[in-house]
Amino acid sequence: MYKNIMVPIDLVHKDHLDKAIGTAVDIAKLYGATITFVAVTATPPSKVAHNPEEFARVLEEYTAGQRTKHEIDIAAKALVSHDPAVDLDETLNKEIHALGADLVIMASHIPHFREYVFASNAGFLAGHTDVSVMVVR
């Protein structure tokens, strides 16, 4: 049913991704699908890394830990965006198609006032891409 699962990863909130990653792993094992973790950073330093190269290493280390924990192969792809606050949704949507993903599994969060005014990233992708999106809270 599914062949290629993309899981957007927010390394700032990596301690809140267990349910989404567990769901992706279970579905991948059930259908023999591949999993790719995708994370987006900007060029300037962030809470996670000083530069895009370090960000890619941090993502790969995190992915390696998840590979070991879940005993499944997981690919990692770090993307650079000029302004993730503005174009994160577009960047992820382009990557969905570049990877040929047929399912996106994303972690959500408890909505705050801001999300009632502005759409969340998961909500935007679910409404604006042509592949299935599963939002896991």
Backbone phi, psi, residue 50, to 5°: -80, -25
Three-state DSSP class for residue 108: coil
The residues near 100 (Cβ < 8 Å, ≥ 6 apart) are 3, 4
Measured between alpha carbons, how far is residue 96 from residues 13, 18, 36, 61, 91 in Å?
Answer: 21, 21, 10, 22, 9
The residues near 11 (Cβ < 8 Å, ≥ 6 apart) are 39, 48, 55, 58, 59, 62
* Partners of 7 in the β-ladder: 37
Q: Residue 116: what pLDDT?
A: 40
The string of pLDDT tens digits covering residues 40-49 is 999 999 999 9
Here the CATH number for the domain that contains residue 69 is 3.40.50.620
pLDDT band at 115 (very low <50, low <70, confident <90, very high): very low
Enter the tokens of residue 55: 């960000």
* DSSP one-letter code for 137: -
The whole-chain average pLDDT of the chain stands at 89
Q: Residue 83: what pLDDT?
A: 87
The pTM assigned to this predicted structure is: 0.88
Give buried/exposed letters for 9-26 (b at 16+ CB in 10 A, else e).
Answer: bbbeebeebeebbebbbe
Q: Is the per-residue pLDDT at 39 higher than 70?
A: yes
Range of the domain at 82: 4-136
d(CA 125, CA 29) in angstroms, rounded, equals 24
Number of structural domains the chain divides into: 1
